Amino acid sequence: MELALREHFPDLPEIVLWKAELMFGGLRFTDALARAVEEGAAPNFYPYRRRHESGQVDSIQVPYLFDLGGQAVARIRVDDRAGMEVRRDDAGRYALWSVGAAPRELCEVQFVRKHGWQDFRTADGLDAFAAGAEQLGDMIVVNVAPGCEYFSVRAERADGGGPGAPQKCSFCAYGRFDRRSLTLGQEQGRLALDELTPKRIEAVLRAAAAGVDEPSAPHARHVYITGGSVLDPVLEVERFLPVIEAVRRGVGDRLRVTIGSGAVDPAGSRRYRDAGADSACYNLETWDAATFEACCPGKAKYVGRQRWIDGLLGAVDAFGRGNVGSAFVAGLELVPPGPCLSHDAFVASVVEGATFLLDHGIAPLYSPLWPIDGTSYKITDGIPPTLYVRLQRELYALRAARRFPVPGWLICPSCSFMLLEVDFDRALGLDRLGASPAGRAGEDPCVRPLASPAAS
Ligand code: SF4
């Protein structure tokens, strides 16, 4: 697949365009990928499946993430129609190549390696993943209660018939109650976590934080706590407080901790802060009100758009400007069940929302709508790559005008494998301004302590 983004965006740095091509087009399988895993790259959750003419299928391990010449990280998605591939030379050097009429080397690549804490086992023998921790680049995602109550509750049908559709978000396939939630001891409809859960996650995080003392080895730099929603934002706070406390006990002051629950009221944000969170990220998913109703029915019904926005503003009061974020799924507005906005109306809505949020000290992030099985979307419903890059260019201009780079605590060059904001900031120099409301020049924004909670 040749996306030819350069034709549309001759002004943008190559690294941004290669990464966008990788995100949307993937790369062809080559034996170099399998070799990289043999040489220590962290393996992908989805192995490559090579089908032979006989019908036999081989499952081949490929790396999960790669590092584009130290300038960006990107998720590896193998698609044999892609216009890029990885090659390894006799000296063991890996490089990304564009293939086609005039093949050329784009940049040297390396692969993200497994952190040492992934080999840790809890006192009752669980590995880190089973205890609720996952490595995404240099970020540890803590999710000890992945089951989301919006998957369980159903809408009332207009005709008064039986139960209607689940209230889950239209793009989400990861919040169902399944074997993982059961393994973690999460029970549908029960707020309290298994009493062993905080102890296990504290132990895993203590092991992970110890890695900071060996800077030459790959190690974690920030923690993001997330999980499925409960129906009442007040109870959501009760669900997450013991998790924040356990994580903080585990990491001490070595790692930055962000709480990524659903939006809670201002008092809830203050309790999160007092329990040990440094920052908060409450994902509104879409700024457009009609899209929010249609695509996030659980969030719309049990929290509501205005209460969500007020929760974000309350979080700024608790954590300080630049220490609050909100993630969005770019493209929900364009296809059903969204209102099918035109491309221009979609961009205008996103820009309106981003302007509001940035002006209130909140960092918005936009991942592309990525249709997967178990959601409302067909594969062709994904946002067109050119529209996504156009949107990112507009968002960069908003951040640059405010000298407000994406804060490193939220996402950084070592974990931003499905987004372009960090790559724009880095390639165009915004990350070097040192004027972010979230950090001071010369400080590593991923590591505590960061900003003092400044008045907004
Ligand atoms: S709140 Fe929405 S995105 Fe989050 S787990 Fe529930 S359904 Fe999925």
- Domains of the chain, each with CATH number or no CATH: 5-111 (no CATH), 116-432 (3.20.20.70)
Q: Using a 6 Å cutoff on CB, does residue 416 contact ligand 1?
A: no
pLDDT of residue 452: 31
36-50, 108-122, 431-445: lowest mean pLDDT where? 431-445
Q: Ligand 1 centre and the CA of 266: distance in Å? A: 21
Q: Using a 6 Å cutoff on CB, does residue 28 contact ligand 1?
A: no
Is the CA virtual torsion 222, 312, 74, 18 positive or negative? negative
Q: What does DSSP say about strands 57-60 and 48-51: parallel, antiparallel, or unpaired?
A: antiparallel
Identify the residue with better confidence: 18 or 140: 140
- Tens of pLDDT, residues 381-403: 999 999 999 999 999 999 999 99
Q: Ligand 1 centre and the CA of 57: distance in Å? A: 34
pLDDT at 123 over 50: yes
Q: Are 334 and 343 in contact (CB under 8 A)?
A: yes
pLDDT of residue 182: 84
Q: Ligand 1 centre and the CA of 315: distance in Å? A: 20
Q: Using a 6 Å cutoff on CB, does residue 175 contact ligand 1?
A: yes
Q: Using a 6 Å cutoff on CB, does residue 169 contact ligand 1?
A: yes
Distance of CA 403 to the CA centre of its chain: 23
Residue whose token pair is 């060996």: 214
pLDDT of residue 434: 52
The number of the ligand 1 atom at minimal distance from the alpha carbon of 285 is 3
pLDDT of residue 350: 98
Which residue type sits at 130?
A
31 φ, ψ to 5°? -60, -20
pLDDT at 9 over 60: yes
123-132, 351-360, 389-398, 413-422: lowest mean pLDDT where? 413-422
Residue whose token pair is 């139960």: 163
Q: Using a 6 Å cutoff on CB, does residue 231 contact ligand 1?
A: no
440 falls in which pLDDT band (50, 70, 90)? very low
Count of helices and strands (H, E) across the chain:
14, 16
Identify the residue whose C-alpha is closest to ligand 1 atom 1.
229
The number of the ligand 1 atom at minimal distance from the alpha carbon of 148 is 6
Q: Using a 6 Å cutoff on CB, does residue 229 contact ligand 1?
A: yes
3 falls in which pLDDT band (50, 70, 90)? low
If phi over 0 gives left and psi between -120 and 50 gives alpha, with beta otherwise, what is residue 92? left
The best mutation among 149, 170, 172, 329 to test binding of ligand 1, ranked by most ligand atoms within 8 Å of the C-beta, falls on 172
**Cα(211)–Cα(219) distance, integer angstroms:** 5
Token output for 43: 């393996």
Which residues 6+ apart lie within 8 Å of 290 measured at CB? 338, 339
In which element (H, E) is residue 106 found?
A: strand 104-111
Q: Ligand 1 centre and the CA of 101: distance in Å? A: 44
Identify the residue with better confidence: 92 or 433: 92
**Cα(354)–Cα(290) distance, integer angstroms:** 17
